[in-house]
Structure 1
Amino acid sequence: MSKNDLRRQLGSSEIASGDVRWPDRRMLVLVGSWILLVAGLFAFAVKVDLFDWLYRITRTHEDWQLDEILALLLCVGVVSLVFLAVRTRQLAHEVRRREAAERLAHDSARHDPLTGLANGRRFREALAQAIESARQSQSSCAVLFIDLDRFKPVNDMHGHAVGDEVLIDVAQQIALAAPAGATAARLGGDEFGVIVMAVPGRESVLFLSQRLSRDISKARQLGEVQLEVGATVGIAIFPDDGHDANSLIKAADQAMYAAKPSRRGLIGLSDSNGVIAN
Structure 2
Amino acid sequence: MHAPILEPALLYHALNLLAPFATDDGSGDGGFTGPSLSEFVPPGFLFVDTPFEINRIMMVRFIAVAVLILLFWLGTRRMRMIPGRGQSLLEMAVGFVQSNIADGALGKEEGKRFMPLLATMFFMVIAMNITGIVPGLNIAGTAVIGVPLVLAVVAYVVFIYAGIKKQGMNFFKASLFPAGVPWPLYLIVTPIEFVSTFILRPVTLALRLLMNMIAGHMLLVLCFSATQFFLFTAGGLFGLFSIGTLAFGFIFTIFELLVAVLQAYVFTFLTAVYIQLALVEEH
Shared fold per TM-score greater than 0.5: no
- Greater strand fraction, Structure 1 or Structure 2: 1
Q: TM-score, normalised by structure 2?
A: 0.28
Greater length-normalized contact order (CA 8 Å, ≥ 6 residues apart): 2
